[in-house]
Amino acid sequence: MRFLKVAPAMLVASFAQYWPEIAMTEATVRLEQRETVALLTLARPAQRNAISEALLDELDAALDRIPAATRAIVLAGEGPHFCAGLDLKEHHGKARSGVEFMRVCQRWHRTFDKLQYGGLPVIAALHGAVVGGGLELAAATHIRIADPNTYFALPEGTKGIFTGGGATVRVARIVGAGRMVEMMLTGRVLDAHAGLALGLAHEICDAGAALETALATAARVAQNAALSNYAMVTSIARIGDMSATDGMFAESLMAAVVQTGPEVQSRLGSFVNKTLPKVAPGPGTAR
Ligand code: 1HE
């Protein structure tokens, strides 16, 4: 067939003529599989992994392509920073109306919800700037490991905009509403240690070791019973939205489901037979 003999470059060129946006798109999110851990990398380092509409779409699509055998996800950023937040140049260029930007924010909410409530533990490897929408993205992950050079900020006020990727819910719950207001009003930049004290980071690793530490943590987390992990990441934050009475009821339901999981008997049997390691300080001990 003549069609098959056309060189790929010619195909791209003719594609670009009719669909320039599709043909010129470069991957801004990479998905790689490391045994049972999926590594998602924001791969737009020249723009500091700023979240454009294309990057958000690719992140969303990558979450749909996570292989079924995956037990944990690591989210990292390529280049000198984890993520600089909303693509301010795109936002400036598009001069979106209120309704248009509301739709953009809702798209962010859907994708970040998919990350938080997708049923798999997500471990973030943070370094450099974790600011604005970058912090909103990090707040949707379950474990945040920070390089000592990590810093956190919500600088929207200086740009004349507001958070729109879920910070008023997620960041406010982590640091407290009052502290979030203070961060936004002052534009204060928190270093890794201040972030650790507030819960924005859960651990500070050795310099340059955030990705390696996150992958090792993910491999450890992946050894938990999958149904237990599912319950942790899908129910605890939601139960936080409920009244205490409803939360206790939801907890008992979740526990009942997990209790019927396929691994419960063998794992408990290992404890009874004294072959399961005891709970004791070791590599997973918080520093
Ligand atoms: C960007 C963005 C961006 C960098 N959108 N292009 N976020 C902010 O307010 C962060 C604004 N950015 C910065 O403060 C700095 O760029 C950084 C501290 C993140 C990085 O500094 P640095 O010295 O490593 O890099 P740079 O030289 O400032 O930037 C390198 C390039 O990345 C440059 O582009 P170039 O074409 O001139 O080389 C920058 O323009 C580009 N870049 N950050 C677009 N954010 C749903 S609401 C969410 C609300 C928000 O997220 S508000 C945004 C908060």
pLDDT at 282: 79
Q: Is 281 left (phi over 0), alpha (psi -120 to 50) or beta?
A: beta
Q: Is 74 helix (H, G, I), strand (E, B) or coil?
A: strand
Q: What is the pLDDT of residues 165-206, one digit of tens each?
A: 999 999 999 999 999 999 999 999 999 999 999 999 999 999
| Dihedral Cα 165, 166, 168, 172, nearest 10 deg | -120
pLDDT at 277 (0 to 100):
86
Burial of 54 (0-12, 13-18, 19+ CB in 10 A): middle
pLDDT digits (tens, 9 = 90+) for 121-180: 999 999 999 999 999 999 999 999 999 999 999 999 999 999 999 999 999 999 999 999
Give the 3-state secondary structure of residue 195: helix
pLDDT at 7 over 70: no
Report which protein residue has its CA nearest ligand 1's atom 21: 48
In ligand 1, the atom with minimum distance to the C-alpha of 133 is 51
pLDDT, mean of residues 79-87: 98
Ligand 1 pocket residue status of 204, Cβ below 6 Å: no
| Terminal-to-terminal C-alpha distance of the chain | 64
Cβ neighbors of 141 (< 8 A, separation 6 or more) are 75, 115, 116, 122, 123, 124
pLDDT at 236 over 90: yes
Confidence (pLDDT) at 102: 98
Angle, CA of 73, 78 and 196, to the nearest 5°: 65
Task: Tell me the mean pLDDT in the region 243-257.
Answer: 98
Q: What is the dihedral of CA 240, 242, 245, 246, to 10 degrees?
A: -120
Kindly tell me if the per-residue pLDDT of 4 is higher than 70: no
Decide: 155 in ligand 1 pocket, CB within 6 A. Answer: yes
Give dist(CA 66, CA 120) in Å, integer.
10
pLDDT of residue 26: 64
Active site positions, annotated:
136, 156
Q: Provide the pLDDT for residue 23.
A: 39
Whether 287 has a pLDDT exceeding 80, the answer reads: no
Q: Calculate how far, in angstroms, residue 58's C-alpha sits from the geometric centre of ligand 1.
A: 19
11 pLDDT exceeds 60?
Answer: no
Check if 153 has its Cβ closer than 6 Å to any atom of ligand 1.
Answer: no
Is the shortest distance between the CB of 163 and ligand 1 below 6 Å? yes
pLDDT exceeds 80 at position 3? no
Residue from 42, 48, 158 to probe ligand 1 pocket by mutation (most atoms less than 8 Å from CB): 48
Per DSSP bridges, beta strands 37-42 and 72-77 are: parallel
- Edge-first strand order for the sheet with 190-191 is 129-131, 151-153, 190-191
Average pLDDT (91-111) is 97
Nearest residue to 113 (alpha-carbon basis) of 132, 139, 76:
139
Residue 144 is classified by DSSP as E
Residue nearest to atom 13 of ligand 1 (CA): 84
Q: What pLDDT, in 10s, does the model give residues 15-53? A: 444 444 443 456 999 999 999 999 999 999 999 999 999
Structure confidence at residue 12 as a pLDDT band (50, 70, 90):
very low
Q: Which of 83, 88, 159 to mutate to test the pocket of ligand 1 (most atoms within 8 A of CB)?
A: 88
105 CA: nearest ligand 1 atom: 46
Q: What angle, 0 to 180 degrees and rounded to 10, lies between the N-to-C axes of helices 98-117 and 226-239?
A: 140
Domains located in the chain, CATH noted: 15-221 (3.90.226.10), 226-272 (1.10.12.10)
State in Å: Cα 86 to ligand 1 middle.
8
pLDDT for 210-232, tens place per residue?
A: 999 999 999 999 999 999 999 99
166 lines ligand 1 (CB under 6 A): no
Q: Identify which of 38, 4, 7, 43 has the alpha carbon closest to the alpha carbon of residue 25.
A: 43
At 234, the pLDDT band (50, 70, 90 cuts) reads: very high
